[in-house]
Amino acid sequence: MGCFEEDTQEGPEANEHNAERSICLHAFSDLSHVPAATFMCLLKDCYVYGTHKASSKFRIVHQLVKMALHNAPRPGPFTYVVQCMYIVPFLGEAYAEGLSHMLTSSLRQLKSVESAQKDFLEAKILAARLVLDILASVVRHENRILVKILETFDIELRDIAQALYGSEFNDDDLVKAREHLKLYVKGFMESESYSAAVSMITRFSIQCCDKSFLIKLIESNQFEVVEECAAFMGKEMVSFIIQKYLSMKMLKSANKLVKEHDLTEEFPDVNFLYKESLVKKLAEKGCWDIAEVRAKKETKLIEYLVYLAMEAGYMEKVDELCQRYSLEGYVDSLVREEVFCGSDYLDLKQLGSEEIVWVDDIDGLINATSYIEGCRIIGLDCEWKPNFEKNSKPNKVSIIQIASDKKAFIFDLIKLYEDDPKALDNCFRRIMCSNNILKLGYDVQCDLHQLSQSYGELECFQSYEMLLDIQKLFKGATGGLSGLSKKILGAGLNKARRNSNWELRPLSQNQKEYAALDAVVLVHIFHEHIGRQPQFGVGCKAEWKSHIVSRVNSMRRPLHL
């Protein structure tokens, strides 16, 4: 029996067509006279053949296998797959695990088919023998496939006992069967095959683990496995795991276990601690509105949110929350000097920045452009109103900040675009396409993408020259621009206002300072980095110049007002 028939079609699509057609003709249309070994050879050839990527081929062949197992395999689909599982290892390591997964997962839907029930019950014993052969290394399968077989065929201890001692097994044989399996479980534990060990422990009620084993699972980051094992061992062990999670600040996981195992009385504070940690994470990301929603008007959580806002120096948010929830008395009880830690962050005065200029008319735009054209190095950043709805379209870029080391301009893009888009386009092309100005950004491609999406009809955001993404110079740095600032300049940036509503007018002075600082700090980071580089030899210029990028639109118009 050949694997493939000749076909007059050519090309990649024809290859896939041939693969599907040939295997259907030779085997999948009727498995009643196709031995398991022949089927597996055909299956491997079908998978190898064709030009699609592996994942696409897997989906195609998987669908065909599911169809084939409905087409009269003898003696039945479950028995047939067990026979195939004995053949799979001979096809080579590159295919064994993938094809084994394909076969076992293809049986899932057949469990509910009434005509296959008898075969399923009979195949359980054959599958139990296969499991024993795998454990004894007679048949070579990965541990993941062993677990898959146990689950697919729902193998119980009595199935193992029957496979070992015949259909006339007794209670003593069940005990011996469990002890037989226990030896393999201990082997899995010693070889750190924890998933396979716990799967067998829980399935066959094998008592061979204690707290030290659970600790090993946690240290190996096997959290799902440790929770499964602890649940099998009882509430005492679940409580032990919760305690470990709390000591590791894994509050979400601890809270989940408390709920799942009805341990609220034993751990009354865990739910609040989890919600408190969630509010803190959101606040640290600048997602104050979401944090407020998650607090769900719980007084203690709202008070904690006020404390976090004060700690971050976000005093307008403090006032807003106090007014909304009548918390003036709570704020008065806090010692602001002890809570507020603004000194931990950089500010414009520390960087020597002298002025922030708000630009929202054409005269201001022209004057700002003239100043910027006289600069050799500028920092560039932009802000837009956050949109927290899942899969929603991002809001239009609201402002763009351009700064030298001494002066920052904040352009109201929304108003300037509404007033005179042509003037806006011409001025920004003079900046973005200048060969004389080095333009610094952080993750600047993201900002340019947002600008292009927001103002796609303007040419100024389609072309640029002399653009340098600062993060390219510090590939190992973490913590975003704030983390980079702390590493290079000794202090980070207060990101509390990152997710402000940037479409409000007028912006608060704090919002303006936050926005300006993001642009100004880029120039200072660059100067500090250059100052640390060798002065002779190949030098720093070659190092940073190699990261400069340009994208020039050949159709752009001359630059003029």
Contact of 161 with 199, CB cutoff 8 Å: no
Same domain, 444 and 489: yes
Q: Say how far apart CA 214 and CA 236 lie, in whole Å.
A: 12
Closest alpha carbon to 238 in 226, 251, 250: 226
| DSSP, res 472 | G
Same domain, 369 and 506: yes
**Is residue 416 one of the residues assigned to a domain?**
yes
Q: Say how far apart CA 466 and CA 432 lie, in whole Å.
A: 8
Q: What are phi and psi of 322, to 5 degrees?
A: -65, -40
Find the CATH number of the domain harbouring 547: 3.30.420.10
How many C-beta atoms lie closer than 10 Å to residue 170's C-beta? 10
Q: Parallel, antiparallel, or unpaired for β 355-359 and 464-469?
A: unpaired
Same domain, 453 and 528: yes
**Is residue 190 one of the residues assigned to a domain?**
no
With 0-12 CB in 10 A as exposed, 13-18 as middle and 19+ as buried, what is 138?
A: exposed
Same domain, 55 and 26: yes
Same domain, 78 and 227: no
Q: Among residues 139, 155, 171, which one ends one of the domains? A: 155
Please report the DSSP string for 223-250 in residue order: HHHHHHHHHHH-HHHHHHHHHHHHHTT-
Q: Parallel, antiparallel, or unpaired for β 407-412 and 355-359?
A: parallel
- Give the torsion through C-alpha atoms of 144, 149, 151, 155, to 10 deg: -130
Contact of 253 with 245, CB cutoff 8 Å: yes
List Cβ neighbours of 336 (8 Å cut-off, separation of 6 or more): 310
**Is residue 160 one of the residues assigned to a domain?**
no
Q: Say how far apart CA 517 and CA 521 lie, in whole Å.
A: 6
Same domain, 517 and 441: yes
Q: Among residues 242, 268, 294, which one ends one of the domains? A: 268
Q: Say how far apart CA 436 and CA 372 lie, in whole Å.
A: 11
**Is residue 168 one of the residues assigned to a domain?**
no
Looking at residue 161, its pLDDT comes to 96
Question: Tokens 């096809």, residue?
Answer: 91
Same domain, 374 and 227: no
Q: Please state whether 223 falls in left (phi above 0), alpha (psi between -120 and 50) or beta.
A: alpha
List Cβ neighbours of 479 (8 Å cut-off, separation of 6 or more): 486, 492
Q: Say how far apart CA 352 and CA 364 lie, in whole Å.
A: 23
- Looking at the DSSP bridge assignments, the partners of residue 399 are 383, 412
**Is residue 279 one of the residues assigned to a domain?**
no
Same domain, 121 and 242: no
Structural domains of the chain, count: 4
Same domain, 377 and 326: no
Q: Parallel, antiparallel, or unpaired for β 464-469 and 397-403?
A: unpaired
Q: What are phi and psi of 288, to 5 degrees?
A: -65, -40
**Is residue 292 one of the residues assigned to a domain?**
yes
Q: Please state whether 175 falls in left (phi above 0), alpha (psi between -120 and 50) or beta.
A: alpha
Q: Six-digit token pair at 412? A: 């109201």
| DSSP, res 28 | I
| DSSP, res 492 | B
Q: What does each C-alpha distance from 552 to 445, 446, 454, 512 come to in angstroms?
A: 15, 18, 19, 31
**Is residue 326 one of the residues assigned to a domain?**
yes
Q: What are phi and psi of 140, to 5 degrees?
A: -90, 110
How wide is the angle at C-alpha 296 spanned by C-alphas 293 and 301, nearest 5°? 100
Q: What are phi and psi of 485, to 5 degrees?
A: -60, -40
Closest alpha carbon to 245 in 235, 233, 258, 232: 258
Q: pTM (2 decimals)?
A: 0.67
Same domain, 132 and 215: no
- Tell me how far the alpha carbon of residue 31 is from its chain's centroid: 42
At residue 443, the 3 state secondary structure works out as coil
Same domain, 60 and 99: yes
Question: Tokens 């697919």, residue?
Answer: 152
Contact of 95 with 42, CB cutoff 8 Å: no
Find the length of the chain: 561
Contact of 305 with 298, CB cutoff 8 Å: no
Q: Six-digit token pair at 222? A: 């096997």
Q: Parallel, antiparallel, or unpaired for β 377-384 and 438-441?
A: parallel
Q: Say how far apart CA 292 and CA 318 lie, in whole Å.
A: 12
Same domain, 264 and 288: no
pLDDT in tens, the chain (561 residues): 333 333 334 444 545 455 444 444 554 556 777 888 988 888 888 777 766 677 787 888 888 888 888 877 888 999 999 999 999 999 998 889 999 999 999 998 888 888 888 999 999 999 999 999 999 999 999 999 999 999 999 999 999 999 999 989 999 999 999 999 999 999 999 999 999 999 999 999 999 989 999 999 999 999 999 999 999 999 999 999 999 999 999 999 999 999 999 999 999 999 999 999 999 999 888 888 889 999 988 999 999 999 988 888 788 888 889 999 998 788 777 755 555 554 578 888 888 888 999 999 999 999 999 999 999 999 999 999 887 676 778 899 999 999 999 999 999 999 999 999 999 999 999 999 999 999 999 999 999 999 999 998 899 999 999 999 998 888 766 778 988 988 899 898 888 778 888 998 999 888 899 999 999 999 999 999 888 776 544 444 557 788 888 887 654 444 444
Sheet hosting strand 438-441, strand order edge to edge: 355-359, 407-412, 397-403, 377-384, 438-441, 464-469, 549-551
**Is residue 179 one of the residues assigned to a domain?**
no
Using only C-alpha atoms, the chain has a radius of gyration, in whole angstroms, of 33
Looking at residue 223, its pLDDT comes to 96
Contact of 144 with 103, CB cutoff 8 Å: no
End-to-end CA distance of the chain: give it in Å, rounded. Answer: 77
Q: Say how far apart CA 259 and CA 256 lie, in whole Å.
A: 5
Q: Where in the sequence is the domain holding 360, given as residue range(s)?
A: 355-551
Query: DSSP H helical segments within 248-361, as ranges?
Result: 251-260, 270-284, 288-295, 299-311, 315-325, 328-333, 336-339
Sequence letter at residue 106 = S
